[in-house]
Structure formats: C-alpha cells, structure tokens
Structure 1
Amino acid sequence: MSKTAGNANVFTAIADPTRRAILDLLRQGEQPVKQIAQPFEMSLPAISQHLSVLCEAKLVTQRKEGRQRFYRLNPEPLKQVSDWVNHYEQFWQEKLDVLGNYLEDNS
C-alpha cells in the first residue's frame, strides 16, 4: 500500500465517531472485543466491522488467545493526522496574531 493510501485510510478510519470512541477506549489498554462493545448500542458484528477498519488503517492491532481476540491501540499513524493539523494550527495562529494587532492598533 502506498503512503498516500495509508494516510487516506487513517483519515477515513477516524472520520467515524464510533471508531474514534473505540480508539479512546483502547487508550486504557488492550481489551477483548466484548468489552469494547459494551458501551455501544450496536451488535458485536458491527463493532467487529469498526475494528476491522481500524486494523486496516493500522490504528489498532489484534492478537488471538484461544477463541478470544484482544485489541490494542497503535497511536503511531495518528502522528500523520497531528502533523497535518499542525500546519493549519500555525496558519490560524498567524491570522489571530494579525487580527489581534489590528484590533490593538484600531481601538
């Protein structure tokens, strides 16, 4: 998979609020799928589909222990998102600084 495709998968994966909530849950540590599904009002297969998208984007890793699957957060791909947002944060900070200076000069 190309780097561009990988970036698109990360952004697609975090676009869904349920998947973002799953990532937040996994910040607490590795969890089995049933535990991940508890706070959501959806079926276990639906949660598994969300986890599949997160695994495909490499935001989550899974391991099997017997018949159970455990999921763990892999935050590294989120650095791409942070780097991208950082460019816009700098842009807006500069705009706010200019606005602040303008308001001070014209008050």
Structure 2
Amino acid sequence: MLQYESQPLDRAFHALSDPSRRAMIERLSRGPASVSELAKPLPMTLSAVTQHLKVLEEAGLVRSGKEGRVRTCALDAEAMARVERWITDHKGFWEQRYDQLEAYLTQTLPTGEG
C-alpha cells in the first residue's frame, strides 16, 4: 500500500466524521459561502457553526477570509483531493484482495458449493 502522511489525513477524517461538518463541506463544494449562509440550514447557533468551521480549517479542508464584516469560506480542493486519493488507493488495494480471495475460493471449492 502507498504511504501517506498520517497527521493531515487523521485531521481530515476527524473533521469529516461529523454530519454538520460534512453538510458544510457539501455546501462549499458548490462554491464559497458566508458563515451565515452555512449556518442557515443547520440546527445550531452561529457560535457552534464557527467552532465546526475551525475544525475544518485546522484540517486544511476549508479556507476563510474576511471582507468587511463578512467572513467567507471556501473549500480547499487540494486537501479534498488528498483525501480522495487515499480512499481511491485503499479501495483499489481491497478490491485486489477480494479478487484474489474469489480466485482462491473458485479454485478450492468443489463445483456447486461456491
């Protein structure tokens, strides 16, 4: 298997483990949004949304900037690509293992039992 730097991936998967943060990521996948836009559909305070955004930023998945009084957030595409590569590589590894298991079972089981 390919080796990855575990700490950034650990932070990313921790950040993605929460459904509210995943909802924010999903919204940001359609384009940048203000904190209030991200908070609108969520059943939590603006303060809680800000705390969730901090986790996403610390994981490197989201960037934010302030223009005047509005804080706008955007998805960091490269960080999301790193997570996607890790998942894709591991999926390929396990698909290969399952194919090997299937081939082994086909060879060892008598006809009609597999």
Same fold (TM over 0.5): yes
Give 1:12's aligned amino acid: H
Q: Which runs of no fewer than 5 residues in structure 2 stay unpaired?
A: none
Partner amino acid for 2:30? Q
State the match for 2:55 in structure 1: 53
1:36 counterpart = 2:38: yes
Secondary structure of the 1:61 match is strand
Displacement of 1:36 in angstroms is: 0.6
Matches within 5 A, 1:1-107: 4-101=6-103, 102-103=105-106, 106-107=111-112
Does the residue aligned with 1:77 lie in a helix, a strand or coil?
helix
Q: What is the aligned length?
A: 105
Alpha-carbon distance between aligned partners in 2 of 1:83 and 1:28, rounded to the nearest angstrom: 20
- How many angstroms apart in 1 are the aligned matches of 2:31 and 2:82? 22
- CA deviation after TM superposition for structure 1 residue 13, in Å: 1.1
What is the Cα-based RMSD across aligned positions, in Å?
2.1
Provide the TM-score with structure 2 as the length reference.
Answer: 0.77
Measure, in 1, the Cα distance between the counterparts of 2:95 and 2:76: 30
Identity rate, percent: 35
CA deviation digits over 1:65-88, x for unaligned, max 9?
111101111121123322322233
Deviations 1:3-52 (A, max 9, x none): 54333221211121211111000011111111111111011100110111
**Which of these two proteins has the greater Rg computed from alpha carbons?**
2
Matched letter for residue 69 of structure 1: R
